[in-house]
Structure 1
Amino acid sequence: MNTSIVIADDHPLLLRGLTDFLTSKGFNIVGSATDGKAAYNLIVKLKPEIAILDIRMPYKTGLEIAEECLKNNLNTKVILITFDKEEELFEQARKFNVYGYILKEFAIEEIETCIKHVVNNKPYFSEEIASFLNTSPLNSHLKDLEKLTKSELRIVKLISENKTSQDIAEELSISVRTVDKHRSNIVAKLGLDNKPTSLSIWANLNKAHL
């Protein structure tokens, strides 16, 4: 695998562990950093396909880097790793088009699968996160879902299963054009941006509620 990756974490042991593990699996680790500012500079300079970032780092957080990448139209896909289980962070991750979100205690077990999903433009979020969101006392996700019709909810569920518009059209016996029209309506109702991956990321982040 020649997927180019930058890794950043202010915990040296985790940084070394992830770097060694991914290198042994054939991934191309082009740079590493122990703070957010250095990590963002590496992303700008090296333009890796993927950046694996700790959420909480000195100078710039992983979320701030994701926001900068989105704002500056950088094509690097961001995967966040964290100990945090805070719904507000997941909301920001969705807003900034984060492709992957992994809890640190499962980082080694899940990172390879996560990267393989992300390389194929398929978002990946730890199962533990879905379980947490499903028991969260906050209702923002449910309020968003209440905006959608039954047909739109069915399509969002299929999107959360990483199915394409063509797949959905065949499964529901409708045209691809109709699916795309539904997708546009859903994006508008949820207040997402028009990037092709935004709805897919939102659906994966909220699959526990679908």
Structure 2
Amino acid sequence: MFKPDILIADDHPLLLKGLEEFLKEKNYSIIATCSDGLSAYNTIIKEKPDIAILDIEMPNMTGIDIAKNCSRHNIETRIVLNTLHKEKKLFDDAVKYNIHGYLLKEFALSEIEACIASVCQGKPYFSEKIYKRFSHKTTDGTNTDVLTRSEVKILKLIADEMTSSEIADFLSISVRTVEKHRANMIKKLNIDQKPNSLLIWSQKNKDSLF
């Protein structure tokens, strides 16, 4: 089973140490721990860990700042945010920058292994409590308010039966970025992970995308 290289960053020493020890006991490879955002970001650039588990609020750079910079510079480290905060704006900001995981610290130890496994498979993982609170999915599943502008744009192209490669060329982005958006949309819209499920959903609800 693939065990990713992991970086952990948190400005609370006890929480940082606790998560590090927990993951080491589970035989995960912790390549670095950091107590502020800037050192975490610099370490991500240097060491290129598979996954970075970051507190949202840290000195010098927040976890969201790091996610934003990684997205902007096409850094392949997958970002998991770990936070005590439950504000919708923080959640929306995090999703905007294509983070791969969003955990509430109160459930972190019980969810972290499932989160890591999901992220390693390229599937975003959101704490169930935070996801249910902010997804606001309507009963018919057609609400697109949970999607970012980029995701809506891509969903429209999917509805036009464009492939990930064609969408990447059309928007001048990487295929990997398109696939990441696809995975995020499937999670946010609570769509079954079956072949062409996103295409079927987008065509069924095409009118709601405009």
> Is the structural similarity TM-score above 0.5?
yes
Are 1:181 and 2:161 matched, yes or no? yes
Answer with 17-26 or 194-203: which moved more.
194-203
Alignment of 1:69-80 (within 5 A): 69-80=70-81
CA contact (8 A) 1:55 1:63 kept: yes
Query: What residue number does 1:127 align with?
Result: 128
Q: CA deviation at 1:135?
A: 6.0
Q: Distance in 2 between matches of 1:85 and 1:135?
A: 15
In the alignment, structure 1 residue 44 sits paired with structure 2 residue 27: no
Q: Distance in 2 between matches of 1:39 and 1:106?
A: 23
The residue that corresponds to 1:207 in the other structure is: 190
The answer to whether structure 1 residue 66 and structure 2 residue 67 are counterparts is yes
Q: Gapped runs of 5+ residues in structure 2?
A: 148-154, 192-200, 202-210
For 1:181, what is the secondary structure of its paired residue?
A: coil
Q: For residues 121-160 of structure 1, what are the structure 2 equivalents within 5 Å? A: 121-134=122-135, 142-144=143-145
Q: Which amino acid aligns with 2:185?
A: W
What amino acid does structure 1 have at the position aligned with 2:69?
Answer: E
TM-score (norm 1): 0.71
Indicate if the aligned counterparts of 1:8 and 1:33 stay in contact, CA closer than 8 A.
yes
Q: 1:115 to 1:145 in 2, by over 3 A?
A: closer
Verify the 8 A CA contact 2:83 2:104 in the aligned structure 1. Answer: yes
2:56 maps to what in 1? 55
Whether the 8 Å CA contact 1:94–1:202 is kept in 2: the answer is no
Contact kept? 2:135, 2:146, Cα under 8 Å: no
Instruction: Let me know the Cα RMSD of the aligned residues.
Output: 3.0
Q: TM-score, normalised on structure 2? A: 0.71
C-alpha contact (below 8 Å) 1:7/1:19 kept by paired residues? yes
Q: Residue in 2 aligned with 1:113?
A: 114
Counterparts of 1:142 and 1:183, CA distance in 2: 23
Superposed CA offset, 1:150-171 (max 9, x none): xxxxxx9xxxxxxxxxxxxxxx
How many Å separate the matches in 2 of 1:41 and 1:129? 29
Instruction: Describe the shift of the 1:104–1:180 C-alpha distance in structure 2 as closer, same or farther (beyond 3 A).
Output: farther
Tell me how far apart the structure 2 counterparts of residues 130 and 62 of structure 1 sit (CA, whole Å): 18
- Higher relative contact order (Cα pairs below 8 Å, separated by 6+ residues): 1
Stretches of structure 1 that go unaligned for 5 or more consecutive residues are 147-155, 157-177
Q: Distance in 1 between matches of 2:32 and 2:26?
A: 16
